[in-house]
Amino acid sequence: MSERSGRILVLALGNDLLGDDGVGLEAARQIAGQVDGSVEVVETGEAGLALLEMMEGYERALLIDSVVTGRYPPGTVIEFSPEDFRKVVAPSPHYAGLPEVMEMAHRLQIPFPQHIRILAMEVLNPYEFRIGFSEPVQEALPQLVQRARQVLEGWMGESL
């Protein structure tokens, strides 16, 4: 049995050098000091197939990231499920997003989280080199942290 079996992963995606893109990382840092040993918090700038190894063996995974949809004001916290991404056409045949990673895990019989939630914050510009967040993202950061805590509490059945 894996040392990760039965555990929860909080996987934060982003880059601190790209301003708003780092909002998921900061949210995870704030959560890290509030969880017990059944939750592992991991920060990464990786994507694609690298996520397969990071998520392998966990029972549940909460991904926290930034997003630009253009449909919501910056600072809006948006919740996704993996099924939401099955409708997205990959930008390249060489691209591996969450649906492709999940399919690969299934086909290769790699233990992969059965429960995955994605929290993303709508941001202004995740490509601008800067330290710190835009004003709407900074103001909404507590809402992202609170929603992540609620998801974790629901999974753990207790208050953090």
What domain count does the chain have? 1
CA distance 123 to 65: 10
At 62-108, the pLDDT tens digits run 999 999 999 999 999 999 887 776 655 554 454 566 778 888 888 99
Range of the domain at 134: 8-156
Does any domain span residue 3?
Answer: no
For residue 100, count other CB atoms closer than 10 A to its CB: 16
* 26: CATH: 3.40.50.1450
Which among 113, 114, 126, 121 is positioned nearest to 51, based on CA atoms? 113
Mean pLDDT of 119-141: 94
pTM passes above 0.75: yes
For residues 115 and 4, what is the distance between their CA atoms, to the nearest angstrom?
14
